[in-house]
A and B are shown apart, each in its own frame.
Chain A
Amino acid sequence: MTFNEYFPSPSDDSSSEQPLDSGGTPPDERGLWRRIPMKAKIGGAIVLLYVLVALFAPVIATHDPIEIDPVTRLASPTAEHILGTDELGRDIFSRIVYATRVDLPLGFLGAFLPALLGVALGAMAGYFGGWVDSVIMRVSDVVQAFPAYILIIALVFALGQGASSIIFAFTILGWVAYARLVRSEVLRVRTLDYVHAARVAGLSRFRILRVHVFPNVISQALVYLPSDIVFATLALAAFSFLGLGIPPPTPEWGAMIAEGQPFIRTNWWFATVPGLVIVGLGLGMSLVGESAEEALER
């Protein structure tokens, strides 16, 4: 395994392109597996690991993540508490494990829901044109003029702190890029011959959109999902770090870094490890995203 195979660049795909099955036979299961680039497999394995940790959190965690123990405050790592305890005597390792159940699904939803709304609005704008298009595009201009994350702070303030406010704010501010992408794809696709043919054949507009336009457009949008999951996860952690995201005592990685920062002189692992956990998830997801982008470029 060379370094090139981990990080092939899009311009030089000779190293990552696996030999295709020759002959007319369809690729079997093993052939398909071999054609997935190594970095997609590594990234996918990392993401899968986080999913498993989230699913089996009660089995993996050694303590109750929110149980306060005033006797063992800010303990160093021991056999009992492998990453020590926080200011309230809660087990840091167990909190990191349980936080996977907060950060992972919210990071995913924070990227998926805006994508869904954006694809729907973009498809409508592109297909119907006219005033529908104008309204959607003008609204997207205003939304885009705002620094989205800063408006999210204001919105979460207005809606009340908590996961649902954050996801709502992500959704109504994050759809713009997807809408623009899908709109331009729809404008391109709907001039194609087979879409004309479907229209001449008398198919309803909705049906044409669903059966002929949508499948063509969706792969473009899907490719951006992994990197948006990274952004959403980092942003969620940032809001919690600022004290404006997931309210205590729910364990959350960003909030744990904020809790650990005052103690970096004595308990350096407290703020360090939750950050490493975020970086790990981000790297895994980015590897998946890069492979998807490269696969689409070919």
Chain B
Amino acid sequence: MGRFSFIAKRLLQVIPMMLGIILVVFLLLQITPGDPVRQIVGLRATEEQLDEVREEMSLDDHVLVQYGRYVALIAQGDLGYSYKSKQPVTSLIRDRMVVTAWLLTAGIFLTLLISIPAAIAAALYRGRAADQVIRGAGLLGLSMPAFWVGVMLLLLVALPTGWFPPGGFGETFGERIRSIFLPALTLALGSSPFIIRSLRASMISVLNSDYVATGRASGGSRRRLIRRFVFRNAAVSSVTVLALEIGFLLFGAVVIETTFALPGLGQGLVLAARGRDLPAIQGYTLLFAVIVVAVYLLSDIAQAMLDPRVEIES
């Protein structure tokens, strides 16, 4: 199958996937106990007022009709109104998006900064002390809850040095860098073990490959070979691995934003869940799912474009 028909087919797969995702988010409303109309109108409303709102929202229609209408609303970018703030959910999301984008960008940057050198060292000195130390540190990293790591960084770094704010998100660029550094580091410490593990394996296979042996036999310097083959391969495959970890990173953002009181999407979801604000929960959940679908799609397309060896299954 040609590359472009693969991409076209991959794009088409997104449609049923999105319908399934919207169905799950829609069902949240159906399985949540309690009357949603009561939530909106308040406890003191009369029966007539309740009926009026119910009429307005057409909640008496068949479930499938309601689902269809829900899909149509979402297609128009309407995610409903928050029970709590009475604002459109889309505007809540817009306000919080910037913070999460900062956290993920800085977190991914630090993850690569930690993982790539560590994986190269582990692959080159396989089985020796450096490899063992990196492996042990990875095991430790996998066992530490991110929120606890965050609290420990506050205790051991932020409080004694006073360089970083204990929480919140700054206004100016400099303040933002300072307020995002420890949260991003927390995210990176949690995700690096995954990246290091798979990078190490892929680099070992590159090091054992014929073309590296040929390069070595034809007198290429070790440093040049590493830069030319190993590092380049590592950079490309670490992006793929990171793409697969996007769900993990997003949950990390939820936990870390709550730990550091960062007003991002993750904190928004937690506050919405604590406040029983169903439309906001649906909006955030949908958005996170869309991010995952989009990242998987982009990574598949990027791989099909970049790597001529990709075997495309029908």
Contacts and interface: CB of A to CB of B under 8 A. Distances in A.
The finding on whether chains A and B are genuine partners in a shared complex, rather than unrelated, reads yes
A128 interface: no
B24 A9 contact: no
A147 B246 contact: yes
Contacts, number: 167
B154 A238 contact: no
Interface in A2-58: 3-4, 6-7, 9, 11-12
B242 to A, nearest CB: 14
Contacts of A158: 28, 31-32
A149 B247 contact: yes
B285 A150 contact: yes
Contacts of B196: none
Contacts of A151: 24, 285, 289
A283 B143 CA distance: 6
A164 B296 CA distance: 32
Contact of B151 (A154, A242, A244, A257): A257
A250 interface: no
Contacts of A159: 31
A241 interface: yes
B147 A9 contact: no
Given A147-B246, A242-B258, A230 B142 contact: yes
A268 B281 contact: no
B17 interface: yes
Which DSSP category, helix, strand, loop or mixed, fits chain A's interface?
helix
Interface stretch (B71-79, B90-98, B125-133): B125-133
A177 B20 CA distance: 19
B281 A238 contact: no
Contact of A157 (B136, B148, B281): B281
Interface string A137-151: 000011001111111
A9 B131 contact: yes
A145 B31 contact: no
Contact of B136 (A7, A146, A156, A227): A7
Interface in B1-25: 17, 20-21, 24-25
Tell me which of B142, B248, B259, B289 has the highest count of chain A C-beta atoms within 10 A of its own C-beta.
B142
Contacts of A265: 159
Given A145-B296, A157-B32, A290-B139, A278 B126 contact: no
Interface residues of B, number: 56
Given A237-B145, A265-B159, A268-B155, A7 B21 contact: no
A290 B140 CA distance: 13
A145 B17 contact: yes
Contact of B132 (A7, A147, A238, A260): A7
A171 interface: no
Contacts of A102: none
B20 A145 contact: yes
A132 interface: no
B109 interface: no
A113 to B, nearest CB: 19
Contact of A147 (B31, B251, B258): B251
A150 B288 contact: yes
Nearest to A9: B127
A95 to B, nearest CB: 16
8 contacts: A147-B247, A150-B288, A153-B269, A238-B255, A244-B274, A257-B147, A257-B151, A268-B155
Interface of A: 3-4, 6-7, 9, 11-12, 141-142, 145-151, 153-160, 227, 230, 234, 237-238, 241-244, 254, 257-258, 260-261, 264-265, 268, 271-272, 274-275, 278-279, 281-283, 285-287, 290
Given A149-B254, A286-B143, 14 more contacts: A7-B139, A9-B127, A9-B132, A11-B126, A141-B17, A145-B296, A146-B288, A150-B269, A154-B285, A157-B281, A158-B28, A254-B147, A279-B144, A283-B139
